Structure 1
Amino acid sequence: MTKEERKLIVILGSTAVGKSLAAVMVAEALGGEIISADSRQIYQGMDIATAKPEPEILARVPHHLIDIVRPDQIFSAGQYREIAQQIILRLYQQGKIPVIVGGTGLYIRALLRGLWPGPKAHWDLRNQLVEEERTFGPGYLHQRLAELDPEAALRIHPHDEVKTVRALEVALLTGVPLTRHHEKHRKGTSSSANPPTVESAGPEQDEHIVIGLRRDREDLYQRINHRVDEMVRLGLVGEVEHLLSLGYHADLSSMRGLGYRQVIGYLRGFYSIQEAVSLIKRDTRRYAKRQMTWFRKEPHIQWIDLKPEDQAHQVAEKVLTLIHAAVPDGQ
């Protein structure tokens, strides 16, 4: 595959917008393979609450970067970038087109434009911050972050201790809010950023075809509510019970994700299953809003506005129309 033929297709959007099946159809039409960009679907054994594609969908087209780490393992955006680049290079060598699909904005940004590396982990400071959270109670660090970096506090969930600690760490070590660093990197003005391309593994920036799917809020929220109800029907509670029985404790970053922490609250008797389901729906809606806030700040996204009646094959056709329009004849 020549350099001119190297195209990197990205299909992004919020949770429940309708990416997975449509992306499979796009990959089938292009003779490509899918690389997931979902920071929750990386975990083995966490299938229902992460809305992993069903086995029959996974079987239609090869999928990469799903089920790659245990729930108690740490996996960074930098690791994602490195592995994804290797997969992209291999697919190019095989004459196949990579189709990146997901809603984790940081993964997609890392792959397309590199990462702002930031200061190295300062473990003494991190341990001090964690100890402060234990001493002053849940929410203390997030409130402190709101004072130092209000934008980051709005973007990071109050229960996400890992991201809260990192944002505080950067602000305290550099004297500049993390969001300011990211803004400079997004505009290409950060001298310490990684090169903003997929380097030897991928195409130049003008060869990225980035397509975003979005829906009206009411339509999306209905889809989210339906998805959560379906998760419960498929055995979400049993999945969480099984993970806990394997020793994956509730304080793990993976177990604090959507669906898992709410069911754990139910299992601990904090509220009823009906209340847990309502919380999952509410928190998923909030998560979708944060995803769209992130994507609206990203450049070069071609948006497709979907209608409630649009089926997966119709979504795929709209995506393929944009792709073909972006690729001149003969390439």
Structure 2
Amino acid sequence: MALDSAQTKLIVICGPTGSGKTGFAIRLARRFDGEIVGADSMQIYRMMDIGTAKPTPAEQAAAPHHMIDIVDPDEDFDAAAYAKMAADTIHEIGARGRPALVVGGTGFYIKALIHGLFEQGPSDPAVRRRLARQAQSSGTDALHRRLQKIDSTAAGRIHPNDTYRIIRALEVFAVTGEPLTVFQQRHGFREQRFNTLEIGLAWARPVLYDRINRRVDAMMAQGFLDEVRHLQARGYGRDLKSMQSLGYRHLAAVIRGDVMLADAVATLKRDHRRYAKRQLSWFGNRESVHWLSPDQTAPASEMIRAFLQDRLA
């Protein structure tokens, strides 16, 4: 018998990169015999471990983890695919009588899971191939400038090097005649699909930025550059969506000889801080999020206990 999503309880641990979500969630999962469902658009990729700050084998052994290492770097995967797969996983966890903790910083994935998505715009392979050829001949920057004229909002949130998303936005416009931003506003999200408790982790901004800087240094010490070299050696090129993400595109430029390592690391730190700022803005606009500091495991535990027992006001 199918489970009723609206009655399925879901605990969400969200927040910016570097805020300590993994450790916080593991402590809570162990306390409530729960299972963790990842909500990170990069941790889904196999072989991309260091640069995505993927939970270590020891951390994954401390509590069951799902939605991590599920596709190769050259496989297509989007919010709609995530929402379906994660929802199925959550129902399986619930059928085992255990709570599911959705943990991550990809706000669009979390929102898609909780609310579901309408169609994300029609697709036309011929249009997509034509745009891909134009990206090869004229460069991604040229396509990004075209997108800026068509949909400045989308262009502002899509990195100029993110060929996949630029092409997707231009494809929607070519097929529908309306900008991607307008399409998303019109078709938007459905009603909430789960009974959800959302907990966000908050740091003072200077402290968070210092944590991010130190985290990037730790990634480099752990062999992030070698990880990128290994991916390239396996044939995963710069045109892939996965390889255009934070860190991977920065270090690929170092390997090509386009930039010095120290400069790339400094830029990566800056871009991680900017990403954290965008995440804070995204989650800050969700009135449903209960904000706690990462050391407030006890208040979070009481909140979860009340939620699971239907006592949360």
Q: Given the alignment, which residue of 288, 292, 297 partners 1:316?
A: 297
Q: TM-score, normalised by structure 1?
A: 0.86
How far residue 329 of structure 1 moved from its aligned partner, in angstroms, is 5.7
Q: Is the 8 A contact 2:15 2:104 kept in 1?
A: yes
Q: Given the alignment, which residue of 112, 125, 130 partners 1:110?
A: 112
How far residue 95 of structure 1 moved from its aligned partner, in angstroms, is 0.3
Give the Cα separation in 1 of the matches to 2:310 and 2:120: 42
Aligned to 1:65: 67
Q: Is the 8 A contact 2:135 2:163 kept in 1?
A: no
The two structures, once aligned, show a CA RMSD in angstroms of: 2.3
Change beyond 3 A, Cα 1:317–1:235: same
Q: Given the alignment, which residue of 258, 261, 271 partners 1:283?
A: 271
Aligned to 2:134: 132
- Structure 2: give runs of 5+ residues left out of the alignment: none
Q: Is the 8 A contact 1:36 1:66 kept in 2?
A: yes
Give the Cα separation in 2 of the matches to 1:328 and 1:93: 17
How far residue 216 of structure 1 moved from its aligned partner, in angstroms, is 2.7
3-state SS in 1 of match to 2:202: strand
Q: Report which stretch shifted further, 32-41 or 142-151.
A: 142-151
How far residue 110 of structure 1 moved from its aligned partner, in angstroms, is 1.3
- Structure 1: give runs of 5+ residues left out of the alignment: 189-194, 307-311
**Structure 1 residues 167-192: Cα deviation after superposition (integer angstroms, max 9, x where no partner):** 22223333333223333455x6xxxx
Aligned to 2:85: 83
How far residue 100 of structure 1 moved from its aligned partner, in angstroms, is 0.2
User: In the alignment, does 2:217 pair up with 1:229?
Assistant: yes
How far residue 327 of structure 1 moved from its aligned partner, in angstroms, is 4.8
How far residue 3 of structure 1 moved from its aligned partner, in angstroms, is 8.5
3-state SS in 2 of match to 1:139: helix
Aligned to 2:34: 32
User: In the alignment, does 2:191 pair up with 1:196?
Assistant: yes
Give the Cα separation in 2 of the matches to 1:3 and 1:156: 32
Give the Cα separation in 2 of the matches to 1:225 and 1:82: 34
The sequence identity of aligned pairs, in percent, is 42
3-state SS in 2 of match to 1:11: strand
Aligned to 1:56: 58
Give the Cα separation in 2 of the matches to 1:57 and 1:185: 39
Q: Which residue identity is paired with 1:175?
A: G
Q: Tell me the matched-pair count.
A: 310
Q: Is the 8 A contact 1:36 1:100 kept in 2?
A: yes
Match runs of 1:1-331 below 5 Å = 6-186=8-188, 195-198=190-193, 203=194, 207-304=195-292, 306=293, 314-328=295-309
**Structure 1 residues 244-302: Cα deviation after superposition (integer angstroms, max 9, x where no partner):** 22222222211121111111111111122111211211121122222233333445222
Q: Which residue identity is paired with 2:83?
A: R
Give the Cα separation in 2 of the matches to 1:223 and 1:174: 43
Give the Cα separation in 2 of the matches to 1:141 and 1:250: 16
Q: Is the 8 A contact 2:46 2:70 kept in 1?
A: yes
How far residue 93 of structure 1 moved from its aligned partner, in angstroms, is 0.9
**Structure 1 residues 159-213: Cα deviation after superposition (integer angstroms, max 9, x where no partner):** 1111111122223333333223333455x6xxxxxx5344xxxx3xxx2111222
Q: Is the 8 A contact 1:44 1:71 kept in 2?
A: yes
**Structure 1 residues 73-104: Cα deviation after superposition (integer angstroms, max 9, x where no partner):** 11122221121111111111110001000011
Q: TM-score, normalised by structure 2?
A: 0.91
Give the Cα separation in 2 of the matches to 1:213 and 1:101: 11
